[in-house]
Structure 1
Amino acid sequence: MVHQHGDEAHIPDEHKVHRVGAWLPADHRVQHDWLAKHIEHLDNNPPQPLSKPVQEFKEFIEGNTRIYMYFQQMWEEVPMKKPYYQDPTGKKQIRSYEQMLALLNRIFTQAPHWNDTAYGVGMVGVPLCSIFDYVMSTPSGHAAFLDPDVNKMLKKILNEWGKFLQTPESAVALSTETTGWFSDHGRKDLMEVANAPLQTNHSFEELFICDPKAKHHGYKSWDDFFTRQFREGVRPVASLDDDNVIANACESTPYNLARNSSLRAQFWVKGQPYSILDMLAHDPLSAQFDQATVYQAFLSALSYHRWHSPVSGKIVRAFVQDGTYFSEPLFTHTNTSSESSPETTASSLYSINASGLSQSQSYLTNLATRAVIFIQADNPAIGLLAFVGVGMDEVSTCEITVRQGQHISKGDQLGMFHFGGSTHCVLFRKDVQVTGFPEIKADGSKKQNVPVRSKLAVVKNGGRS
Structure 2
Amino acid sequence: MSPSAYVPDHIGRWVVRKPAILDGWTYNQLTLPRAQLPADKKCFNVRPLAPVIQEFQQLIEDDPELFMYFHTMFDEVRRPNGDLDHVNDYKELMKTLDRIITQAPKFGGANNLVMGVPMYAVLAPFCNTPSGYNIFTNPKVNAQLHKIFDVWAAFLVSPESRYVLTTNEQCWFSPIAIDVMSERLGTSFYDAWVCRDSNPRNHYGFTSWDDFFTRRFRPHMRRVIDPDNSNLITAACEAHVHTIQSNVRAVDKFWIKGNSYSLSHMFNHDPFTPLFVGGTVYQGILSSLDYHRWHSPVDGIVRNTRLIPGMYYAARLDNDPDPDVVSRSQDFVTAIAARALIFIESDNPVIGLMCFVAVGLGEVSTCAVTVKEGDRLKKGDELGSFHFGGSTHCLVFRPQTPLKPFPHLQPGTVHNVNSNIFYIENGTEMD
Instruction: Indicate whether the TM-score tops 0.5.
Output: yes
Q: Which residue of 1 aligns with 2:340?
A: 371
Question: Amino acid of the residue matched to residue 358 of structure 1?
Answer: S
Residue in 2 that maps onto 1:71: 70
Corresponding residue for residue 140 of structure 2: 149
CA distance in 1 between partners of 2:271 and 2:73 (Å): 38
String of CA shifts for 1:163-199, please: whole Å, max 9, x gaps.
1100001111011001110001111111124x1xxxx
Q: Counterpart in 2 of 1:243?
A: 230
User: Structure 1: any 5+ residue segments left out of the alignment?
Assistant: 1-12, 87-91, 196-200, 333-350
How many pairs align?
414
Mapped partners of 1:68, 1:173: distance in 2: 36
Q: Give the alignment of 1:276-287 within 5 angstroms.
A: 276-287=263-274
Q: Does 1:213 align with 2:206?
A: no
Whether contact under 8 Å (2:69, 2:134) holds in the other structure is: yes
Q: Once the two structures are superposed, what CA deviation does each residue of 1:305-326 show, in whole Å capped at 9, x if it has no partner?
A: 0000000111111111000110
Whether 1:110 aligns to 2:103 is yes
After the TM superposition, list the runs of 4 or more consecutive aligned residues in structure 1 that deviate by more than 6 angstroms. Answer: 42-45
Change in 2 beyond 3 A, CA 1:354/1:46: closer
Indicate the SS of the match to 2:116.
coil
1:422-461 correspondence runs (5 A): 422-437=391-406, 439=408, 441=410, 444=412, 447=413, 449-461=414-426
Deviations 1:125-154 (A, max 9, x none): 111111111111110101111111211111
Which residue does the alignment assign to 1:274?
Answer: 261
Q: How does 1:91-106 map to 2 (within 5 A)?
A: 92-106=85-99
The alpha-carbon distance between structure 1 residues 189 and 364, as it changes in their structure 2 partners (threshold 3 A), is same
Equivalent of 2:275, from 288, 299, 303? 288
Moved more, 424-433 or 66-75: 66-75
Alpha-carbon separation, structure 2, partners of 1:164 and 1:46:
19
Matched, 1:410 2:379: yes
- Please give the secondary structure, in 2, of the residue aligned with 1:386: strand
How far 1:287 sits from its partner (Å)? Answer: 1.1
Aligned counterparts of 1:114 and 1:385: Cα–Cα separation in 2: 36
- 8 Å Cα contact 2:114-2:121 kept in structure 1: no
Q: Partners of 2:76 and 2:33 in 1: how far apart? A: 23
1:191 corresponds, among 168, 182, 185, to 182
SS in 1 for 2:88: coil
CA distance 1:437–1:361, shift in 2 (3 Å) = farther
Conserved in 1, the CA contact under 8 Å of 2:368 and 2:386? yes
User: Structure 1: which amino acid aligns with 2:338?
Assistant: T
How big is the shift at 1:56? 1.2
Matching residue of 1:400: 369
Unaligned 5+ residue runs, structure 2? 36-43
* Contact 1:17–1:354 (8 Å) recurs in 2: no
Tell me if structure 2 keeps the 8 A contact 1:134–1:352. no
CA distance in 2, matches of 1:317, 1:290: 18
The structure-2 alpha-carbon separation of the partners of 1:357 and 1:384, relative to structure 1 and needing over 3 Å to count, comes to same
How far apart are the structure 2 equivalents of 1:299 and 1:213?
28
Contact 2:15 2:112 survives alignment (8 Å) = no
Tell whether the 8 Å contact from 2:76 to 2:129 is kept in structure 1 after alignment. Answer: yes
- CA contact under 8 A between 1:42 and 1:102: conserved in structure 2? no
Amino acid at match of 2:325: G
Contact kept, 8 Å, 2:7 with 2:327, in 1: the verdict is: no
Identity of aligned residues (%): 38
Contact conserved, 1:292 with 1:428, CA < 8 A, in 2? yes
- Determine the structure 2 residue equivalent to 1:335: none
Q: CA deviation at 1:29?
A: 4.9
- Offset at residue 331 of structure 1 (A): 2.2
Q: Deviations over 1:229-278 (max 9, x none)?
A: 00012100122101110010000010000001111100001224100111
**1:375–1:385 Cα contact (<8 Å) kept:** yes
Shift of 1:285: 0.6
- Do structure 1's residue 354 and structure 2's residue 345 form an aligned pair? no
| Contact 2:24 2:86 (C-alpha < 8 Å) held by counterparts | no
Name the TM-score, length of structure 1 as normaliser: 0.84
Pair 262,455 (structure 1): closer, same or farther in 2 beyond 3 Å: same
CA contact (8 A) 2:312 2:362 kept: yes
User: Normalising by structure 2, what TM-score?
Assistant: 0.90
Q: Deviation at 1:412?
A: 0.2
Does the CA contact (< 8 Å) of 1:30 and 1:121 recur in 2?
Answer: no
Q: How many angstroms apart in 2 are the aligned matches of 1:168 and 1:56?
A: 27
Distance change (3 Å), C-alpha of 1:438 and 1:106: farther
Q: C-alpha distance in 2, partners of 1:313/1:365?
A: 24
Aligned pairs for 1:307-322 (under 5 A) are 307-322=294-309
Question: Aligned-pair distance for 1:18?
Answer: 5.7
When residues 75 and 26 of structure 1 are mapped into structure 2, their CA distance, relative to the original with a 3 A threshold, is closer
Residue deviations 1:429-461 (CA, integer Å, cap 9, x gap): 00211102454656x3xx3x2010010110123
Of 39-48 and 410-419, more deviation after overlay is shown by 39-48
- Secondary structure of the residue aligned to 1:415 is strand
Closer/same/farther in 2, CA of residues 284 and 221 from structure 1, 3 Å limit? same
